Amino acid sequence: MNMKKQKLIRLTLSYLVIFAMSVIIIYPLLWVVGASFNPGQSLSSSTIIPKNATLAHYKEIFDPEQSDYLKWYWNSLKISTLTMIFSVILISLTAYSFSRYRFLGRKSGLMTFLILQMVPNFAALIAIYVLATLTKLIDTHLGLILVYVGGQIPMNTWLMKGYLDTIPKELDESAKIDGAGHLRIFFQIIMPLAKPIIAVVALFTFIAPFGDFILASVLLRSKEKYTLAVGLYDMVAKQFGSEFTTFAAGSVLIAVPIAILFLSFQKYFVSGLTAGGTKG
């Protein structure tokens, strides 16, 4: 009976903790969504769901004559997608090299990556700005993409290398006996088994630039080249500006591509893990 009571207490406490964390996480999201439908420009509301809900703010941000929101959205999608593609390619090759080969400077390289991932991007803002100025990449999306890709490599290389280390090296050796080269082993054997970590890295490398404000605000100058974060900030920070509910509407739509990407990659998080044990 005591065991049943202890189990019941633990179960109850677990559900209470889950419920409390859910409220902490979900309530602000619901509040922002509700604010985006709130008439006027005030965020204050007596209820989460406004009484006189309106789509006026969504119509405003989609109107090219009133807002450059669609242009900012396209800029963010372009920068994030290209960052994700280039990052996944470079990280996969780098992690595979560190995982499968032994070469001079390997340990030093891994230690350098470990140190670099401890340094936040904003700590190198002055150096990044000076470098972008010297290379004439200020106010260009290319400069921003290069900075994002470089910043994603250290942490995600360690992440992917740890996963690749769990894939048996006997698979490589068997393929070499059959006459497969290094690239064929990489593309046809290792990468299909590494789908779960590739999906994780792709998601991380897309989300980071999509919601970044600091680096984008430092490197971008032209309003037509703004990303979503910089554009929305400019919307509410301009003189006499108080378009907070319009800002909320724009913020809600930021989650759409991230949710679509997560749902698209979700199957790899589980199926890819089980595939590693069945393919030979």
At 219 the pLDDT is: 93
At 8 the pLDDT is: 84
3-state secondary structure the chain: CHHHHHHHHHHHHHHHHHHHHHHHHHHHHHHHHHHHCCCCCCCCCCCCCCCCCCCHHHHHHCCCCCCCHHHHHHHHHHHHHHHHHHHHHHHHHHHHHHHHCCCCCHHHHHHHHHHHCCCCHHHHHHHHHHHHHHCCCCCCHHHHHHHHHHHHHHHHHHHHHHHHCCCCCHHHHHHHHCCCCHHHHHHHHHHHHCHHHHHHHHHHHHHHHHCCCHHHHHHCCCHHHCCHHHHHHHHHHCCCCCCHHHHHHHHHHHHHHHHHHHHHHHHHHHHHHHHHHHCC
Model pLDDT for residues 157-166, shown as the tens digit of each residue: 988 998 898 8
At 275 the pLDDT is: 44
At 276 the pLDDT is: 40
For residue 3, how far is the Cα from the chain centroid?
A: 44
Distance in angstroms (rounded) separating the CA atoms of residues 130 and 220: 14
At 49 the pLDDT is: 72
At 44 the pLDDT is: 64
At 135 the pLDDT is: 93
At 278 the pLDDT is: 38
Instruction: Supply angle C-alpha 143, 199, 72, rounded to 5.
Output: 40
Distance in angstroms (rounded) separating the CA atoms of residues 245 and 35: 6
At 45 the pLDDT is: 62
Which of 177, 159, 71, 140 lies closest to 169 in space, CA to CA? 177
Model pLDDT for residues 266-279, shown as the tens digit of each residue: 877 665 444 444 34
Fold (topology level) of 66-278:
MetI-like fold (1.10.3720)
Domain ranges across the chain:
2-58, 66-278
At 1 the pLDDT is: 54
**Residue numbers of the chain with a pLDDT score lower than 50:** 239, 272-280
Neighbours of 103 (CB within 10 A): 8
At 125 the pLDDT is: 87
* Count of residues in the chain: 280
> Burial of 92 by CB count in 10 Å (0-12 exposed, 13-18 middle, 19+ buried)?
buried
At 78 the pLDDT is: 96
